[in-house]
Amino acid sequence: MPKRILITGGAGFIGSHLADNLLRHGHEVRALDCLSPQVHGVDRRRPSYLDPEVELIEGDVCDSAAVRRALRGVDAVYHFAAKVGVGQSMYQIADYTQVNNVATAVLLEALVENPVERLIVASSMSIYGEGLYRTEDGELVPGHERPLAQLQKRDWELRDRKGRLLTPVPTPETKTPTLASVYALSKYDQERMCLIVGRAYRIPTVALRFFNVYGPRQALSNPYTGVMAIFASQLLNNLPPLIFEDGLQQRDFIHVRDLAEGCRLALETPDVAGEVFNLGSGHRYTVREVGERVAAALGRENVEPKIIERYRVGDIRHCFADTSLARRRLGFEPRITFEEGVADLVNWLERQEVDGRAPDARTELEERGLTV
């Protein structure tokens, strides 16, 4: 049955793709978005990619009046509004806490007064910190924070107490969170607040832990956007992608349209209230490999990635998704291959104006002593 759905942050990268998916399946969509200049540019206009059928309310999710206005007549809510970026969260601490934590509390207070049929909150793989690992003896152990002395020696891999290498394995939802950045802390706070309040007030709530999302519409003016878009922006400006550590850290990259499908399934699947799901591709890639593949797709094979052999505070070594729970409970099946997804991103990027601002982000972190 068609629903009227509110997406906070609905004019952004992921929110707009979710809106497209929901509209195709017959739902009505309203977006509440402040059109942040870091994401949407200084003119803060309605983005051209946002479907004209989406009702856009320009407002701040921290503003209780705007939130209550956006909730009128709504059947379900996706809470996607957030500031993103591990590095930036380590110095814009109050801002991240206000937008991610306090705004979620504002939304939840409004939902207590105006309950909906389902609340879906965007969480993040960052809450895991390091992923799950296997010892040489075959024991599964949670990853731990790497000692500073080890990082200063440019020894990047996780080791056990005897100095033996640990092998990364897919990370399931049962892995205990290890909150390595202010951003991770704020996303965990969003997730837990929504689940706690949802249970207390009988608002069926689902939390989705997004892994590395990529695809068209990423904010190229934001130096803290996804790593793949940052690499592409640098390459299109004939600048080498900057890669921290040795580039062999492993991540899970999921195309935004696959992610949007998983988000819709979390709305329409019965009997999943109170659950938490990983949304990733289930495949792992090194950051160096991602840089090389994007370079090849852009025809910039001659621009070699720059391995800077530095650690960024808040970064982790390996984390990629175990998606078996989402497959079993939601019927979630990512369909876009990495090769197809990179081609799709590059096709879009070649029609955009890019300014290669990622070096600014690195400078910001170095000036604050947030690299080692």
Q: What is the CATH number of the domain that holds 229?
A: 3.40.50.720
Instruction: Give the pLDDT of residue 359.
Output: 52
Instruction: Give the pLDDT of residue 93.
Output: 95
- Whether residue 129 lies inside any domain: the answer is yes
Better-scored residue on pLDDT, 37 or 266: 266
- Whether residue 372 lies inside any domain: the answer is no
Half-sphere exposure of 284 (CA within 13 A, CB side): 16
Q: Which secondary-structure segment (H or E) carries 227?
A: helix 227-236
3-state secondary structure 281-308: CCCCEEHHHHHHHHHHHCCCCCCCCEEC
Structural domain range at position 199? 4-366
Range 258-276 average pLDDT: 98
For the chain, what percentages of helix, strand and coil (3-state, to nearest 5) are there?
40, 20, 45
Range 256-285 average pLDDT: 98
Instruction: Give the pLDDT of residue 87.
Output: 84
Range 94-121 average pLDDT: 97
pLDDT at 247 over 80: yes
| pTM of the entire predicted model | 0.95
Range 149-153 average pLDDT: 94
Instruction: Give the pLDDT of residue 360.
Output: 61
- Whether residue 313 lies inside any domain: the answer is yes
- Whether residue 13 lies inside any domain: the answer is yes
What is the domain count for the chain?
A: 1
- Percent of the chain exceeding pLDDT 70 equals 96
- Whether residue 119 lies inside any domain: the answer is yes
- Whether residue 91 lies inside any domain: the answer is yes
3-state secondary structure 59-113: CCCCCHHHHHHHHCCCCEEEECCCCCCHHHHCCCHHHHHHHHHHHHHHHHHHHHH
The pLDDT tens digits of the residues spanning 292-339 come to 999 999 899 888 889 999 998 889 999 999 999 999 999 999 999 999
Range 161-180 average pLDDT: 96
- Whether residue 350 lies inside any domain: the answer is yes
The pLDDT tens digits of the residues spanning 72-89 come to 999 999 999 999 888 889
**Sequence-ordered list of residues with C-beta below 8 angstroms from that of 366, at least 6 positions apart, any chain:** none
pLDDT band at 225 (very low <50, low <70, confident <90, very high): low
- Whether residue 371 lies inside any domain: the answer is no
The residue among 358, 360, 46 whose CA lies nearest residue 220 is 358
